[in-house]
Structure 1
Amino acid sequence: MSLAPRAVLVHRRTEYEELLARHGTHGQAAFVLAGRGRSVEEVAERHRRAVRALADVAAAVPLRWRRSRVERADLDRFLFGPQDVVIVVGQDGLVANVAKYLSGQPVVGIDADPGRNPGVLVRHRPRDTGALCDAAVSPGTGVDALTMTEAVADDTQRLLALNEIYLGSPGHQTARYRITRNGARAAGEVQASSGVLVGTGTGSTGWLRSLWLERGSRMTLPAPTDPRLVWFVREAWPSPATGTSSVAGELAAGDWLGLTVESDRMVVFGDGMESDALELTWGQSVRIGVSDTALRLVT
């Protein structure tokens, strides 16, 4: 007998739970917020909606399936299996948070609070969960293969991201590095900047888009399923020793952008999760390009 699929419900602590963790009780949280002209009830109501959505999703998972649950803060310690169906209950950003830990498992995005989320990645409602679970394990199911980006360091450290990868100083100060593309014979360009951002089509509605707009770039941003990346150098500084001639570009499948560290320390992190970053020291190098792994989002 084949092993039944496992539904892994991914969620995050609500604002209300974070308030209780900080202030201890509902009453104390209410007192603190009242002093700021805010009511705890609006936060508590969103918490109740999130808890209700999570319960409805759990109840709709097929009875024969195995099931597990993981909170966002524990994702880096959770072991996903090849037969898992990952059900993200929350915001669009939570799908990006979990994407880097997957290797092709189907993902179902459930919007826990319709009207507050754009719903780009969490496209469905709790009532759809049962049908989506069946679809996720059925051949020929509609799945969007969302392009991901990957960074690989010379010491084999590897990082995946759905939206974007940032490379720069851990304190977001000036980083020094040498930038090259596709192993060009030229030595590349030494730069001093506040970091480099490499993003996908999924990330082109966020941080990447803000840089694109700021530059007035004529590049066409990719769609989420396009096997293409766009990259920008942030605030490159011209000096006798550093240049600004290579500050933006595109990467097709098979292309890569290379950085060699010339600072004491640089970090590489994806999708805003700086707590789970690669750390590189002087002389180390890293390559960033289109990943062979895509996020399989059930439509």
Structure 2
Amino acid sequence: MKIENAVIITNKTRLESLIERFNTKAQAKFYIEHSGGNFSDYEQEHFVFKTSLSAVVEKLSVHFKCKVIDRSYLPNYIFTEKDLPVVLGQDGLVANTAKYVNGLPIFAINPDDSRYDGILLPHNINNFEDQITRIVHDRFVYDDITMAKATLNDGQTLLAFNDFFIGPASHISARYNIKIGNENENQSSSGIIVSTGAGSTGWLSSVCNQVSRMSETETEIDMDWDEDQLFFVVREPFESKHSKANIVSGYIDDAHPLIVESFMPQKGVIFSDGIEKDYLNFNSGAIVKIGLADSKAHIIV
């Protein structure tokens, strides 16, 4: 089906968030400078982003109807096959967008490659226009990226582009039963991280780094972004009369999902991609199955 609409997804700049917090730019400037900060850096970042946004809208408008939406509207926005999701922002915005576009190819553009790494942003403000022509003539290609899916026993679901966290919403121990394959045990820990290939260089890698330094052995998880498996790790498992620490890491695939039953009376959560507002309650009686998502994310390259 021919693409008719470009839906440009953005996030507030740091300057916009400051003005929202302090009501005016002058008050925000006073606060930052009074604290010893460099307010001009906030202004420069904001200027570059807005300049990039204007350029993207101008070029896309030649071929499509354009709409700019803030990330906060993603959960409620209904994307159709006539839409082209265009992400203009940091890598995390691509991860967040992928969960809501129903597998549509994402056109990801780095608005400021002097500031952002852009691992998930194949295009920048200097070369994105060439890709528009390919999109218009349906000659573009995209990478497949495996996502994870959490399914609760009450039917609620949540997708993750990078990773899931399963555990407490505050600094208390998570209590649960964990099952993978034919093994299961009761555990008490700081929570469980489940990572995709795309997320394996993020939060998961920090846990691996800690294990490597403490044990003086090399611990590295090497997964391609399109690999049909996930990897889980239990953070700081505690052994006691009522909890064990034998199941601490492993791979997840369609034949071996991860099953976790919550023993937390309150404050149990499952959130994805580091966004704590994007969560499922995971309290006593809840059972979650973590496995591969039904479809993959697609990023135009």
CA spacing shift, 1:32–1:219, aligned 2, 3 Å = closer
CA spacing shift, 1:246–1:119, aligned 2, 3 Å = same
Instruction: Name the structure 2 match of 1:193.
Output: 189
The CA RMSD measured in Å over matched residues stands at 1.8
**Mean CA deviation greater in 229-238 or 136-145:** 136-145
1:268 aligns with 2:267: no
Q: Does the Cα contact within 8 Å between 1:201 and 1:225 map onto a contact in 2? A: yes
Q: Distance in 2 between matches of 1:240 and 1:106?
A: 50
Q: Does the Cα contact within 8 Å between 1:70 and 1:78 map onto a contact in 2? A: no
**Mean CA deviation greater in 278-287 or 127-136:** 127-136
Among candidates 287, 290, 294, match of residue 288 of structure 1: 290
**What stretches of structure 2 of length at least 5 have no aligned partner?**
213-217
Counterpart of 2:224 in structure 1: which amino acid? A
Instruction: Name the structure 1 match of 2:35.
Output: 36
Alpha-carbon displacement from aligned partner over 1:211-241 (angstroms, at most 9, x marks no partner): 1121226453212122221110011110011
**Mean CA deviation greater in 259-268 or 247-256:** 247-256
1:244 aligns with 2:240: no
Instruction: Name the structure 1 match of 2:97.
Output: 98
Q: Distance in 2 between matches of 1:224 and 1:115?
A: 25
Q: Does the Cα contact within 8 Å between 2:258 and 2:289 map onto a contact in 1? A: yes
Q: Describe how 1:147-296 pairs up with structure 2 within 5 A.
A: 147-182=146-181, 184=182, 188-216=184-212, 218=219, 220-265=221-266, 266-296=268-298
Alpha-carbon displacement from aligned partner over 1:134-184 (angstroms, at most 9, x marks no partner): 4346556321101111111111111111100111112142111000014x3
Q: Distance in 2 between matches of 1:263 and 1:178?
A: 11
Shift of the alpha carbon at 1:126?
A: 2.6
TM-score by length of 1: 0.93
Q: Does the Cα contact within 8 Å between 1:173 and 1:194 map onto a contact in 2? A: yes
Q: Distance in 2 between matches of 1:138 and 1:254?
A: 40
Among candidates 293, 297, 300, match of residue 298 of structure 1: 300
Q: Distance in 1 between matches of 2:140 and 2:3?
A: 18
Counterpart of 2:12 in structure 1: which amino acid? R
CA spacing shift, 1:255–1:35, aligned 2, 3 Å = same
Instruction: Name the structure 1 match of 2:215.
Output: none
Matched residue of 1:189: which SS?
A: strand
Q: Does the Cα contact within 8 Å between 2:258 and 2:290 map onto a contact in 1? A: yes
Q: Does the Cα contact within 8 Å between 2:5 and 2:84 map onto a contact in 1? A: yes
Counterpart of 1:210 in structure 2: which amino acid? S
Shift of the alpha carbon at 1:253?
A: 4.1
Show structure 1 runs of 4+ deviating over 4 A: 137-140
Q: Distance in 2 between matches of 1:66 and 1:151?
A: 35
Query: How many corresponding residue pairs?
Result: 295
Q: Distance in 1 between matches of 2:190 and 2:44?
A: 40
Counterpart of 1:55 in structure 2: which amino acid? S
Identity among equivalent positions (%) equals: 31
Q: Does the Cα contact within 8 Å between 1:61 and 1:129 map onto a contact in 2? A: no
Instruction: Name the structure 2 match of 1:66.
Output: 65
Instruction: Name the structure 2 match of 1:79.
Output: 78
Q: Distance in 2 between matches of 1:49 and 1:237?
A: 48
Instruction: Name the structure 2 match of 1:50.
Output: 49
Q: Does the Cα contact within 8 Å between 1:90 and 1:111 map onto a contact in 2? A: yes
Shift of the alpha carbon at 1:13?
A: 0.3
Matched residue of 1:210: which SS?
A: helix
Q: Distance in 2 between matches of 1:118 and 1:35?
A: 30
Shift of the alpha carbon at 1:117?
A: 1.2
Shift of the alpha carbon at 1:281?
A: 2.4
Matched residue of 1:203: which SS?
A: coil
Counterpart of 1:224 in structure 2: which amino acid? W
Q: Distance in 1 between matches of 2:151 and 2:134?
A: 34
TM-score by length of 2: 0.92
Counterpart of 2:259 in structure 1: which amino acid? G
